[in-house]
Structure 1
Amino acid sequence: MLRSMFTAISSLNLHQSYLDVVANNLANANTIGYKTSRVLFQDQFYQMLNPGSGPAANLGGTNPTQVGLGVKTGYISPIFTQGALQATGRNLDLAIQGDGFFVYDQGAQRRYSREGSLTLDSAGILVNASTGLRVQGWMVNASGVVDTNLPPNNIQIPQNRTIARATQNAIFGGNLSADAQVGDTVDTTMGIYDSLGQLHTATVTFTRTGDSTWSWSATAPAGAAGNGTITFDANGHYASSTGSVLTVPGSAGANPINATLDLTSLTMLSAPTSTAVTSQDGLAAGDITDVYITPNDGAIFLVYSNGMREQVGQIAVARFTNPAGLIHTGHTMFQQGLNSGDPQIGAANSAGRGAIAAGYLEGSNVDMAQEFTNMILAQRGFQASSRVITTSDEIIQELVNLKR
């Protein structure tokens, strides 16, 4: 049989595989997180007809004569170029800008993916919305800190937590009248919160003590403590003060409230007295209203109805020295391969890992124009090889006809 026929057959098989890859790329043109694949051809064996010779004293050398015996697949490899980010307006939809993969738990073998559509399951664990695989990261420790040097684990979001904040600072503003007489008093009430979120009403009494001085003291509620003095300059502006901590007993089970009073905004001008608390940092108890993932670093916060935010965890991102060495497992997931290197897992936007874009998903990086071009190349290559088989068959037929 003719060598050309077997060579053409190897080409037919390869161009069919080429077309399979093109078809898969086009089928996944709208698959979130999909990475297009490319095919590399390599020539195969060669039959040596003449090894050639080296130059002699009176004769030049000759080159070897070889006949190729077909083509084979070099490799089929994913291309990890960045896909376009598609805005979804949903904070639990995540994409990675740059190098890296989300880490998912699947028992003994982890999975890695660029697809980050997350949701909470009934146990409050953060999972991939389509596969249910649990995304990996870190929870805050007892000190409220995320340690990204620890191995990542499941992220469980508390569902029924409430939180409050005790008042620690209060700012007074307004005017203490310069027309007041020595011994005149002014009462200013203020609302402050204890560590359980209970609101307490405290009264601070200001007393004129001299030409440019006033004193203050806590007079309510029962058990409240704190006092000090305020000195104003000749322009009626704050000059200095002594004492700044107001202590108020908390409700049953709460710590005492120790609020630092900021009196620097007070004035002493010839105008009616108008002292008031302009702001304080305590908050009543609030319930969870949302889960928020911050851009860039992927920190996970709980948002409460009282406006507070509390960090509970952080998303992990893995990068590989050779991502093309990863093995496809379906569902736009990969697993570690023999030539991918070990996963380098850490926080996003650090050590070469990409930044997290919250509210976005990464679209497929398939270039449809390129894939249609590849389809034409595969088709024409297949046609050319089939013509070689037809021609080889005609030559064999002519040989058979020589017997007639």
Structure 2
Amino acid sequence: MMRALWSAASGMIAQQTNVDTISNNIANVNTTGYKSQRAEFKSLLYQNLQTRTTTANGENKPVPAQVGLGTRVAATNTFYTQGAMQASENDTDFAIEGDGFFAVRGEDRNVYYTRNGSFNWSVGNNGMTLCTSEGYPVLDSNGNEIRIPNGVTSGSMVISTDGAVGYRTTAGTYVAMNQTIGLYQFNNPAGLEKMSRSLLAQTAASGAALNEATANGLTKSVIHQNYLEGSNVQIADEMVNLIVAQRAYELNSKAIQASDEMLQQANSLRR
């Protein structure tokens, strides 16, 4: 009965984490570039109730006599499936079609990655720079910031589907700036560390960032201007998962109540 108490308690803790993950998905259903997550579970140690044999000859039993000791959260897996393309009137809104990530430079000068392509031209000491909504500079394929040349307005800037940056003169002539919006891929994107502000950090589990402009064998991503990539959260699936998690939490609590009543009955036998 004590095993039942601990096993059911571990189930309640695990299902609470499951509900937390589902709640985060639902909360970010309208977050640009958000990727849904799912809690993964694993069983804890098993306890042997009997030896491997029940005969004096040492013959093995056909099936073991073991009981599990509960569960715990093994990981929170992220699914990097393509989100829906949402049209935008902002010329600095970009959506990625493919496996690539934008690269930005954070406050600590480290490089982070994101699928959120809601950018703006930000005025700074070095002129106008393409930045995220938080002011983090967007990097090109060489790791440099993307700045508007002197005498050029932001409305004249042109970015093609392959990320090439240029501008049009007052005469309508296109001038290439020899810069391309950086797109990077990872061997294991699920291993990226999630930060705030829709940023992702490279880890040993994700592997090194692969530059689409220089790495061989990668399927190139496509940049769509005047579009944003919506969240890939399926709200109907999340509601179903939430109901299942709630019922599992409730059943684990019922198992604790049943074990407690059995212990009370056992304690009352001496009376």
TM-score past 0.5 threshold: yes
Name the SS of the counterpart of 2:181 in structure 1: strand
Residue in structure 2 matched with residue 124 of structure 1 by the alignment? 128
- 1:333 to 2:210 alignment: no
User: After TM superposition, which residue ranges in structure 1, 4 or more long, deviate above 6 angstroms?
Assistant: 54-58
Aligned to 1:111: 112
Relative distance call for 1:364 and 1:104 in structure 2 (3 A) is same
Seen in structure 2, the aligned counterparts of structure 1 residues 397 and 289 have a Cα distance that, compared at 3 Å, is closer
Contact kept in structure 2, 1:289 and 1:303, CA below 8 Å: no
How much has 1:89 moved relative to structure 2? Answer: 2.8
Tell me the C-alpha RMSD between the 2 structures.
Answer: 2.3
- Alignment partner, residue 248 of structure 2: 381
Counterpart for residue 173 of structure 2? 308
Contact 1:39 1:73 in 2 (8 A): yes
Letter in 2 for 1:135: V
Q: CA 1:51–1:153 in structure 2 vs 1: closer, same or farther (change >3 Å)?
A: farther
The CA deviation at 1:288 is 7.6
CA distance in 2, matches of 1:68, 1:384: 17
> In the superposition, relative to structure 1, how do residues 309 and 334 fare at CA in structure 2: closer, same or farther (>3 Å)?
same
Query: Radius of gyration: which is bigger?
Result: 1
Note closer, same or farther for the CA distance 1:293–1:67 as it changes in structure 2 (3 Å cut). Answer: same
Instruction: Find the aligned partners of 2:215 and 2:30 in 1 and give their Cα distance.
Output: 27
Length, aligned pairs only: 265
- Please state if 1:17 is matched with 2:8: no
The CA deviation string for residues 10-35 of structure 1, in whole angstroms up to 9 with x for no partner, is 00001001000000000000000100
Q: Return the alpha-carbon distance in structure 1 between the equivalents of residues 173 and 67 of structure 2.
A: 76
- Structure 2 CA distance for aligned equivalents of residues 383 and 66 of structure 1: 25
In 1, are the aligned partners of 2:47 and 2:67 still within 8 Å (CA)? yes
Q: Which amino acid aligns with 2:118?
A: S
Which has the larger strand fraction?
Answer: 1
Deviation at 1:92, TM superposition (A): 1.2
**Structure 1 residues not aligned, in runs of 5+:** 139-150, 162-286
Unmatched 5+ stretches in structure 2: none
Distance in 1 (alpha carbons) for counterparts of 2:16 and 2:192: 24
Q: Distance in 2 between matches of 1:95 and 1:10?
A: 41
Q: Secondary structure at the match of 1:402?
A: helix
User: How far is the alpha carbon of 1:61 from its aligned partner?
Assistant: 3.8
Higher helix proportion (structure 1 or 2): 2
Matches of 1:323 and 1:389, distance apart in 2: 39
Distance change (3 Å), C-alpha of 1:288 and 1:112: closer
Q: 1:86 to 1:349 in 2, by over 3 A?
A: farther
Give the drift of 1:91. 2.2
Higher-RCO chain (CA-CA 8 Å, sequence separation at least 6): 2
Does the 8 A contact of 2:48 with 2:67 survive in 1? yes
Sort the Cα spacing of 1:377 and 1:288 in 2 relative to 1 into closer, same or farther, 3 A: closer
| 2:151 is equivalent to residue 160 of structure 1 | yes
| Contact map agreement 1:53 1:62 (CA 8 A) in 2 | no
Q: Is the 8 A contact 1:25 1:366 kept in 2?
A: yes
Match status 1:398 vs 2:230:
no
Give the 3-state SS of the residue equivalent to 2:212 in structure 1.
strand
TM-score, normalised to structure 1, is 0.62
